[in-house]
Structure 1
């Protein structure tokens, strides 16, 4: 079907059709082939008439080969057919020369020296393989002619001199010249066609570049408009949310409080939508930049995930969180954008899960310095055909999801852009009805130098923790005391298990050695758990027994965490950070 000109892209020239010169060159080749058939056949008849039957047969065979070449040319307009026809005529000429030399008794004569031109002509007609092939043909032909000259002697039928031989030679020269001229014209036409096509391609590329520039300019203008508009919308929204928050703190009846709650909820939802559009417009305009800062990552993650505790509980969903103890305390990253990505993925997981669970696992790869986050749910899942487009803007699993669960279709697109901007990667695996698993990596280098500052280290826990150290080795007591003091903590020391059990109730955190006199660390932990069922302290194993079996034994006995000796300042800081987060959850009634 021909596309109307009015519907073609503006500014894109058409590809050129075969040129008149190319068609004329092919027609000349066909006429040369016709002349060759007629000429070789005529001379075959003439030689037969004068009694030179062998020479007549040679010319007849050559005429037949030229006729085949003519049929090949008439079969189509492709360059392949043209090359094949020329190879046929070259082959027939070579064989005719060899046969004529044998018949005339000149198998070792001067005429056969002209066979050295055959590989040269074959190379011009084709590539290196063609040149090698014609070299083999000429060489084998010469060898065969020499051997036949010794084995099979053809009786002389006529004297090969005079006008007939001269005419035959002139014919061969004329056909060679005409063939060369036809090939040359075809080559010139092909080169002109190539140049025309190159010019067309360049024109198309220039037109596409202009179209792309126009589209990018329009996209930038749209993004700038959206960015300005969302900024303008935030001002009246802030003017609405702030006073509502103040009003809620005044003396209002239940009906008024309910009305204000609806206004506040709607205003915050609208502000969230405006922020989403603003972020997307910044990404489209290339104005989104990350601003890495020093972050207490454990606290940032706990604060982010705590938002969904109530939502998950109201939906009957189990929300589990696991932050690997290898995650450093201080990292350098853009915490706002990291939290935004985590919020979006966990929020989607909770929103699209009707029953079951949502799990969040966060680990750290110390090699490249990368956070790895996995969010897995047992929700509705994503259709297979939608997975390749799930991170595209304005795309959702299907229309029914948008109608039932809402959303703009921008959240995952923004997540993908933020992760890419940070230098990480995001992937998804999903099956309809079984749930989804999103994983992303976020490069974040640990900050060890800053942790040498007593002021920074003391601020890690956010509160003054009461710490008990159960350690019987004097050297180890001094080391851990110096480290904890550097962290802003003054510990209480005991050197046996019974004392650890007795004093545990008065402390928030207990560093417990496994090998203590009087009662080992495992039994002491069990005793503490039995005696403090209401609000147990956070117990951390601090021991040289660092195998996975030892760690499992500590956790089974009731310990909350594990640090291996020899202790390092960063390990203790991370353990205290985890302890502060765990104790905060216990105070709020969240599961540990």
Structure 2
């Protein structure tokens, strides 16, 4: 246990140092007018959801409720996607950091066509900011209270970077706060206005699937904001929803109304969602009702073990909801519980990019892992094996090139710092060989310094991840690259 605590302390210290170095580099570039910006049209909801996923683990540790809402008239804005995500993660991380356990944080996207702006509001129910400190809030290296600096570690650079990056977008950042009640940071981006109503209406019509046998849902969630969003999404599908806020009442209600399916939050005020599922499975009246778990944390494996029909991450997006309903509907049809008509209707998702990222390939791939660290090898191979992948290991860059030629894997995970031949040279060697040059490569490095991603992509990598790698993100990256190859065949 002491060893684990020491390792955790080392990791946290390393992360903190890395954040400090990167923040100083970015701030220096911004002040010198040399911060690289690539202004393109970006899908705002996708960027917001990606930013929320980054902070969800820390939010879950503090039992924070995470909310989000999106203005349907806002689809794209012109911005630098990487910097926009950096801005959002910075504000969301602060919201998590300064909100006491059991509190709430949120992200709201609001279109302002009259002023041609999109406002992104990041809010929390945290400790708040005193009025006399507002003027110093966006100055570099400023932490407003030395007592807070000891309790809440940070570089004091984050909000200064946010302000400068928003200025580079020709936008602005403002803040409202009440001590003891929370804060609201508003990012204002220039906006060309909503899409044509005709185009928007056609998109909505195409994207909504049809589930004729699903008419009654039971939603169990004690967050009014989250519940309201899901109820609205289900209403679009023609599904009536009964909402319950605690586990024991949910069990009783399920026995009474026998809904077509149940959407269940795992964090409830009285008993856990897992206890609710167990009670439902033990009762003949409710044992066959499909349950979709809804959680702020990725709990796919526990959901599967408990017998749930699916697991969705908060905030629940329409594409994920539609896919979860389709999957358990197919299973119900195969078991004879639902008529064939249910799955004859095509299910189309509104966000093609998000669907591709999370889709699982029909056949599991053969992966070549190029890694010289035994602990990393054990972690990667064990997790990927559980996910059904076949993994071969190369312990250095030369072996990676040799095994790529002989085994022709479906995908390569390439560490950059390796003996004999480093990962960048190995990638270049693979790309120079016509027989193996098209194999997708995910570069993985512990360096994580500014410019590393660009170097890896320039060498020929298809994607880049920095250590410590989220295993879930790794699998998502693998699936995305394999799907792209499949589409191009």
- TM-score (norm. length: structure 1): 0.36
Structure showing greater relative contact order (alpha-carbon pairs closer than 8 Å, 6 or more residues apart): 2
Higher share of residues assigned helix = 1
- TM-score (norm. length: structure 2): 0.43
Larger gyration radius, structure 1 or structure 2:
1
Higher share of residues assigned strand = 2
